[in-house]
Amino acid sequence: MTTTRRLVPAILLAGAIGCAGSRPRPADAPHDRTRPATSAPSASSPDGDAGGARAQRLFAEALKAQEDQRKLGVPTDWAHLERKWRTVLDAEEIPEARYNLGVSLEGQGDASGARAAYERALAAKPSLRQAAVNLGVLLEKQGDVPAASALYARIVRDFPEDAIARARLAALYRASGQLDEAWRLAREALLRDSSSLGANKVLARVALQRNELELANLIALRAQKLDPKDPELPWVSGQVLARQGDEAGAAAQYRKALALSGDYLPARYALLEAAARKQAWSAVAEHAAAILLVEPKNAPVHLALGVAKRHLGKPDEALASYGQAEKLAGDTLPEVHLARGVLYMRVKNECQPAIEAFRAYARAAGPVAATDSPAPRLERECVQILEENRRATEAAKQMQLDAERKAAEEAAKKAGQGAVKPPGAQAPGAVDAGAATTSTQGPAR
């Protein structure tokens, strides 16, 4: 998953400077769960014991409260159910009630309390399969995949009739690339429960990974009848259509997935990457912003948003997104330096900070990666631009100096001409014309 997220900025930079494309981001594993234990156990107290009879009655009341909420179709009041199951346990320690308390606690987000309840129920009654399955799912959600896998494997061994653990283990095998084992376990789960949504999703995903597109689509469509509200199933259909070249149909399926669950990120990533390939920057910004609402610390998506903002004419917002991406990723996302350099060079026409950014990219990416990127070429262009600007500046200064010298010379020449012959002055030795005429005629008679 991390590798795929790193490919998102590569696609976005492709729209900006001509790099290669990417592949879709994988979806999350299915999340089948067992329901609370609904069969009232036999009282562990001796026959006729009042405490045991009271615990039986309270257990039945708690189950009825749970069933009444289900029939009304209202959101489950987990706190109310928690109080009911604690009342049962105050009367007597019943493993099924302890397990149901764990379900109520998990429904309220108390993972540590739920885990303790499941473990205590299993310690008291190792055959309580539901507690083992829910504990495995809880471990998986907390990121302890090895422990979850080991627990699922034990359930599969100890409870041959179990379908849920097989489907969950199949999903983990698929995620690790063990497709044959995933397929086998999913088929085994379906033999035990033909309505297993998790098993059907594993089969659809395995077929998709094997590029058996028609089979993947058929299984996904069949699974949608089991749960029309599961967003993963239209996502699988969208992946099939995308690989078949039907981008419009794929986008429609991704939007359907988002209509079912607005925070279903695989569909968001698919739409984000499709928009980036088309250089539809408004859509890129929309989907990147939606992803960041769920994953605010996703540095590559901050970078993707920044590239979109640059193309939308918002360079300052783009630089802010680049800064956030760099803060989150540190030196693990060299593309942020490349994107920043492109912005300074192409948008702000500031080559000096652009050169610094390109050199930072080369240091972070390494010499081989930097050589294969457009950074060296862009840096050379910037250096050339700076050199041309320097020459132009020097030429302009020289022209200014020449103009000032010429103006000074002309001013001096005019000043010199004024000193030699002022206006109205007579040249030395000149004879007055009137006087000369009188002298030649002689005295008047």
The tens digit of pLDDT for each residue in 330-358 reads 889 999 999 999 999 999 999 999 999 99
Report CA Rg, the chain: 41
**Structure tokens belonging to residue 26:** 């994988």
What per-residue confidence (pLDDT) applies to 211? 97
**Structure tokens belonging to residue 199:** 């098993």
Do 217 and 240 contact (CB within 8 A), yes or no?
yes
CA separation for the pair 244, 435 (Å, rounded): 117
CA separation for the pair 414, 401 (Å, rounded): 20
CA separation for the pair 343, 364 (Å, rounded): 18
What per-residue confidence (pLDDT) applies to 21? 32
What per-residue confidence (pLDDT) applies to 24? 32
**Closest-CA residue to 9 (of 399, 343, 273):** 273
Residues 6+ apart with CB under 8 A from 323: none
**Structure tokens belonging to residue 195:** 């309505």
**pTM for this predicted structure:** 0.75
**Structure tokens belonging to residue 332:** 């693990």
What per-residue confidence (pLDDT) applies to 25? 36
Do 99 and 134 contact (CB within 8 A), yes or no?
yes
3-state secondary structure of 242: helix
pLDDT tens per residue across span 50-93: 558 899 999 999 999 999 998 998 899 999 999 999 999 999 99
CA separation for the pair 370, 367 (Å, rounded): 5
Do 414 and 421 contact (CB within 8 A), yes or no?
no
Do 137 and 148 contact (CB within 8 A), yes or no?
yes
What per-residue confidence (pLDDT) applies to 437? 44
Per-residue pLDDT of the chain (445 residues; tens, 9 = 90+): 443 444 444 444 444 443 333 333 333 333 445 556 655 554 444 344 555 889 999 999 999 999 999 899 889 999 999 999 999 999 999 999 999 999 999 999 999 999 999 999 999 999 999 999 999 999 999 999 999 999 999 999 999 999 999 999 999 999 999 999 999 999 999 999 999 999 999 999 999 999 999 999 999 999 999 999 999 999 999 999 999 999 999 999 999 999 999 999 999 999 999 999 999 999 999 999 999 999 999 999 999 999 999 999 999 999 999 999 999 998 899 999 999 999 999 999 999 999 999 999 988 888 767 677 888 889 889 988 887 878 888 888 889 988 888 888 888 888 877 655 555 555 555 545 444 444 444 444 3
What per-residue confidence (pLDDT) applies to 412? 85
**Closest-CA residue to 17 (of 341, 367, 348):** 341
What per-residue confidence (pLDDT) applies to 48? 43
From the CB of residue 296, how many other CB atoms can be counted at a distance below 10 Å? 11
Distances (CA, A) of 77 to 58, 108, 117: 18, 9, 19
From the CB of residue 183, how many other CB atoms can be counted at a distance below 10 Å? 18
What per-residue confidence (pLDDT) applies to 443? 44
CA separation for the pair 319, 25 (Å, rounded): 26
What per-residue confidence (pLDDT) applies to 442? 46
